[in-house]
Structure 1
């Protein structure tokens, strides 16, 4: 795979930590130029320090004009866009009786609206290159999740968007697929407002429920993301690949 991404341009959102950072590094390792996008400059620079083919762009994917600015940066830097990885997302635990309009809107804006608008902004350039969109779902995009139902629903929406976009864009040669990770080491739980004690408790409980006995590592997901985007996967579209240590089987 080392030269299949040579001179190709990949945008990865949420690239400061976790799966996004690992994916940015992996794409760079196999020859791509990578635009690593995120809200915090410090973590983005740490990602960029891991490979010289990574450039950073600080942006909140939910902000007005962000999709056009992100795509514009990639075009200014390299003149093309071949792959878009919609990795930025937010986890929020929220019981039904505690649901608020603000809480639901925050989940939906980050997990559904932002990747939709960024994909739309990138689409003319993906059409030119017969490129690929990789969306990030979750095991809980197709499996119920008590106490975080709106998060799960947002990931179910991403899975259906993946299939619908794949059908819509197939005539243009643009492939759309998704990865559905199980519990993976990242800052997602902490960023959802949980205390360190709550995070540790959840991580231990998750590992105990996973048939392979552990949480995933970001690099394991990054490997599958690059495989899905690889031009050698040119006959694969509209698929959601679950990589979760067997959790969805339980």
Structure 2
């Protein structure tokens, strides 16, 4: 079975799929024959994504809302009757130096980066058991190194990577595989979107990060998506509990 044919008529959920890596993942899955439910908070951007392929369905949902997990899984099952893959791509981050620590901001990162994937796993578990499906969590290369003032973003994603390994062992008996991809600096609009930085500051940070990448450039969604599909594919039936860093060597810099 080729990687492409392994997605024919499968059903996937991609959270945070209205832009960047999530959007590119959803479109790649659809192009390879999967039916994909894409979630996000921005209705207009979701509508644009949904219009790009007939196999994409959209659901406006905020991953920070603990009730969203049931809505998301119910939407996929009611539409297609099965679930083969969950891609936990939705993320939350904010630069926070110690003197600016804020309870609400930290709690928001925990809600999206830790709690939301946990609840989606819980809600999707019965359907994933039926298909011996897979989960791919999206971490970050920031968790591989000290990265002030991104400590809480890195810490919550490190927690997700730990959950990846723990779920992989806990669910192996059900035939469910759980892996993660942890991207480095990628051109995705995350700095001005998820991080909420002003455009000029985002450009400065992007330039700094690009200079730090040993392979000489920031990543693209196209550098990340093939690994998400590979880790999620039923063609890789003996691969679980892995966290793959795809970052051009960025986390290894001295």
Shorter-chain TM band:
over 0.9
CA distance in 2, matches of 1:183, 1:81: 31
2:196 to 187, 193, 198: 193
**1:220 matched to 2:231:** no
Q: Give every structure 1 segment of 4 or more consecutive aligned residues whose post-TM-superposition deviation is greater than 4 Å.
A: none
Shift of 1:64: 3.7
Calculate the aligned-residue CA RMSD, in Å: 0.9
1:111-145 alpha-carbon deviations (Å, 9 max, x no partner): 11111111111111101100001000000122221
> How far off its partner does 1:185 sit?
1.2
Q: Which deviates further from its counterpart, 46-55 or 150-159?
A: 46-55
SS at match of 1:81: coil
| Correspondence for 2:38 | 36
- Of 214-223 and 160-169, deviating more is 214-223
Q: 1:206 and 2:209 equivalent? A: yes
2:241 corresponding residue in structure 1: 238
* 3-state SS of paired residue (1:77): helix
SS in 2 for 1:188: coil
> Which residue number in structure 1 is paired with residue 167 of structure 2?
165
Whole-angstrom CA distance in 2 between matches of 1:143 and 1:214:
19
Work out whether residues 90 and 188 of structure 1, in 8 Å CA contact, stay in contact via their aligned partners in 2: no
- CA–CA distance in 2 between the matches of 1:171 and 1:143? 33
User: Kindly tell me: are residues 159 and 64 of structure 1, through their superposed partners in 2, closer, same or farther at Cα, counting changes over 3 Å?
Assistant: closer
Query: What are the superposed Cα offsets for residues 5-61 of structure 1, whole Å, 9 maximum, x if unpaired?
Result: 111100000000000000000111111000011111211122222221111111111
Higher mean C-alpha displacement, 17-26 vs 47-56: 47-56
Matched, 1:17 2:9: no
SS in 2 for 1:144: coil
1:154 maps to which of 153, 156, 163:
156
Tell me which residue corresponds to 1:145.
147
What's the secondary structure of 2:136's corresponding residue? strand
Aligned to 2:111: 109
Q: Per-residue CA shift, 1:215-238, capped at 9, x if unaligned?
A: 111122111101111111110000
**Separation of aligned partners in 1, 2:114 and 2:66:** 15
- Write out aligned runs for 1:44-63 (5 A): 44-63=46-65
2:184 is matched with 182
Contact map agreement 1:185 1:217 (CA 8 A) in 2: yes
TM-score (norm 1): 0.98
Are the counterparts in 1 of residues 11 and 35 from structure 2 also a CA contact under 8 Å? yes
Q: Shift of the alpha carbon at 1:209?
A: 0.2
CA distance in 1, matches of 2:50, 2:164: 28
